[in-house]
Amino acid sequence: MPLFSTLDLVALAWFLGAWAIYSATLTLTEKRRRGLNSEMNRYRDVWMLQMLGREMRMVDAQIVAALQNGTAFFASTSLIAVGGALTLLRSTNEILEVVAALPFGIRVTPVQWEAKTMGLAIIFVYAFFKFGWAYRLYNYVAIMVGATPPAKDQDTPEAKAHAARLGRLCEVAGRHFNRGQRAFFFALGYLGWFISPWLLMVTSVVVALVLWRRQFASDSRQALITE
């Protein structure tokens, strides 16, 4: 007997496809359509050029520290989420008894429940790796901020090249942080599978649409592109 029904497998493929298609489409279109991420990348470049002209760079160091702290928070949260998902594996029978008593009457075997729970844990592990790498990259950003040439050399080619490299590194760190957050959002959509494969397909699309709207039709994006 197969572990999952055909409908479950289709729903899982739908979920993974929605995640992958959203990520690929965002990468291909965000610069052309001036998405929220691409606008913030532009401001990262502005930040680095402004930093070149500052004699005292405590403000820049504080900004990097704030970015590190935020990333560390999400990395820690990812580990807690992994631990919570693995804890569910130890209480499968008790949880299934509770779930079976719910009005919508979910019918799932212990093996199926554990497999779905492992899938949720894998998503959080992926998020942890993204946040962990982003945190390390922000450490590198902090080092490069310290290695920035003095303000008197701000107009030299070396200083401008350093600012460009620093902007690119900060952009990469932000990209990995965004992917970790995206994993969190899609993990919420994944929870629909514990109720129904049909619900998983619906929540996958809803999450993708919400994220797309925030990138291209949100108030925050409009605030950044207002000339």
Query: pLDDT tens across 31-88, in order?
Result: 777 888 888 988 999 999 999 988 888 899 999 999 999 999 999 999 999 998 888 8
Domain coordinates in residue numbering, the chain: 6-217
Residue 86: per-residue pLDDT = 87
Q: What is the pTM of this model?
A: 0.90
Q: Check residue 226 and give its pLDDT.
A: 65
Residue environment code for 16-41, b if the CB has 16+ CB neighbours within 10 A, otherwise e = eebbeebbeebeeebeeebbbbbbbb
Long-range contacts of 11-15 (CB under 8 A, 24+ apart): 11/193, 11/197, 11/198, 11/200, 11/201, 12/119, 12/193, 12/197, 12/200, 14/200, 14/201, 14/204, 15/186, 15/189, 15/190, 15/193, 15/200, 15/201, 15/204
Dihedral over Cα of 79, 82, 86, 87: its sign: positive
All residue ranges of the chain with pLDDT < 70 are: 1, 98-106, 226-227
Q: For residue 211, what is the enclosing H or E element?
A: helix 197-216
